[in-house]
A and B are shown apart, each in its own frame.
Chain A
Amino acid sequence: MKLSRRGFLGGVGAAAAGLVLGIHRASGRAVEVPADGELAPNAFVRIGSDGVATIVCARSEMGQGVRSSLHVLVADELGADLAKVQLVQGDGDPRYGNQDTDGSSSVRGDAFTMLRTLGATAREMLVAAAAHRWGVPAAKLVARDSAVHDERRKRSLAFGELVAEAAKLPVPKHVELRPFGELPHAGKDLPVRDAPDQVTGRATYAADVRLPGMLTAVVARPPALLGKAARFDAARARAIPGVRDVVELPAPSAPIQMQALGGVAVVADHTWAALRGRHALAVTWDGGPNAGYDSAAYREQLLVAVRAPGEVVRKVGDAEAALARAARRVEAEYVVPHLAHATMEPPAALARVDGDRCEVWACTQDPQGMQDEIGKALGIDKSHVTVHVTLLGGGFGRKSFPDFAVEAALLAKRAGVPVRVQWTREDDLQHSSYHTHSAQALVAGLDADGNVIAWRHRIAYPSISATFSADATRPSTGELSQGVLDMPLAVPDISVQTGAAAAHARIGWLRSVCNIQQAFAQQSFIAELAHATGRDPRDMLLRVLGPARALTAADQGVAKLPNYGLPLTTYPYDVGRLHHVIERVTDAAGWGTGGRALGLAAHRSFATYVAVVAQVGKGRRGEPRVEEAWIAADAGTVINPERVRSQLEGAFVFAASNTLHGAITYEGGAVVQRNFRDYRLLRMPEAPRAIHVELVASTAPPGGVGEPGVPPVAPAIANAWFALTGTRVRTLPFIT
Chain B
Amino acid sequence: MSRAALLLLAACSAPAPAQPTARALPAVPPGQLASPVAFDAIADRAARSRALFGEIAKVLTHPRCVNCHTPDESPRQGDQHVFHDPPVARGAGDRGVPGMQCTGCHQDHNLELARVPGAPGWHLAPVAMVWLDRTPGQICAQIKDPARNGGRTLAQIQDHLARDPLVAWGWSPGADRAPAPGTQAALGLLAQAWIDSGAECPP
Contacts and interface: CB of A to CB of B under 8 A. Distances in A.
Direct interface between A and B, CB < 8 A? yes
Interface of A: 275-276, 279, 621, 676-677, 680, 683, 685
A276 B87 contact: no
A275 B113 contact: yes
B160 to A, nearest CB: 31
B96 to A, nearest CB: 15
Contacts of A621: 83
Contacts of B93: none
A621 B113 CA distance: 32
A243 to B, nearest CB: 14
9 contacts: A275-B113, A276-B113, A279-B113, A621-B83, A677-B85, A680-B85, A683-B86, A683-B87, A685-B87
Given A276-B113, A279-B113, A676-B85, 9 more contacts: A275-B113, A279-B112, A621-B83, A676-B86, A677-B85, A680-B85, A683-B86, A683-B87, A685-B87
Closest 7 CB pairs of A and B: A677-B85, A279-B113, A275-B113, A683-B87, A685-B87, A683-B86, A276-B113
Nearest to A675: B115
Nearest to B86: A683
B131 to A, nearest CB: 20
Interface string B35-48: 00000000000000
Nearest to A680: B85
A676 B87 CA distance: 12
Contacts of B86: 676, 683
Nearest to A678: B85
Nearest to A424: B113
Interface in B93-119: 112-113
Contacts of A676: 85-86
A285 B113 CA distance: 21
Contacts of A685: 87
A276 B111 CA distance: 12
A685 B74 CA distance: 14
A685 B112 CA distance: 30
Interface of B: 83, 85-87, 112-113
Nearest to A677: B85
A279 B115 CA distance: 12
Contacts of B112: 279
Contacts of A677: 85
A676 B115 CA distance: 13
B73 to A, nearest CB: 9
Nearest to B85: A677
A683 B100 CA distance: 14
A680 B83 CA distance: 13
A673 to B, nearest CB: 13
A276 B112 CA distance: 10
A275 to B, nearest CB: 6
A275 B86 CA distance: 23
Contacts of A683: 86-87
A286 B44 CA distance: 63
A216 to B, nearest CB: 15
A675 to B, nearest CB: 9
A685 B86 CA distance: 11
A642 B121 CA distance: 46
A685 B83 CA distance: 14
A618 to B, nearest CB: 15
B35 to A, nearest CB: 38
A276 B85 CA distance: 25
A683 B83 CA distance: 14
Nearest to A279: B113
Nearest to A683: B87
B100 to A, nearest CB: 11
B86 to A, nearest CB: 7
B117 to A, nearest CB: 13
A175 B4 CA distance: 109
Contacts of A279: 112-113
B93 to A, nearest CB: 21
B196 to A, nearest CB: 43
Nearest to B82: A677
Nearest to A272: B113
A730 to B, nearest CB: 25
A241 to B, nearest CB: 15
B98 to A, nearest CB: 15
A680 B87 CA distance: 11
Contacts of A680: 85
Nearest to B83: A621
Nearest to B72: A620
Nearest to A276: B113
Contacts of B83: 621
A279 B83 CA distance: 28
Contacts of B85: 676-677, 680
A25 to B, nearest CB: 54
A280 to B, nearest CB: 10
A45 to B, nearest CB: 46
A542 to B, nearest CB: 40
A627 B25 CA distance: 57
Contacts of B113: 275-276, 279
A254 B83 CA distance: 42
Nearest to A278: B113
B74 to A, nearest CB: 10
B34 to A, nearest CB: 36
A621 B85 CA distance: 15
B99 to A, nearest CB: 11
A328 B113 CA distance: 58
Interface centre among A275, A276, A677, A680 (most CB of B within 10 A): A677
A188 B110 CA distance: 53
B91 to A, nearest CB: 15
A676 B84 CA distance: 12
A680 B86 CA distance: 10
A621 B86 CA distance: 16
B7 to A, nearest CB: 54
Contacts of B87: 683, 685
Nearest to B78: A677
Nearest to A686: B87
B106 to A, nearest CB: 15
A684 to B, nearest CB: 9
B13 to A, nearest CB: 51
B175 to A, nearest CB: 12
Contacts of A275: 113
A279 B86 CA distance: 24
B111 to A, nearest CB: 12
B17 to A, nearest CB: 47
A279 B87 CA distance: 28
A92 B85 CA distance: 41
A251 B174 CA distance: 35
A252 to B, nearest CB: 28
Nearest to B77: A677
A474 to B, nearest CB: 39
A676 B112 CA distance: 18
A643 B149 CA distance: 55
A632 B83 CA distance: 36
A621 B83 CA distance: 10
Nearest to A621: B83
Nearest to A674: B115
A676 B85 CA distance: 9
A317 B198 CA distance: 87
Contacts of A276: 113
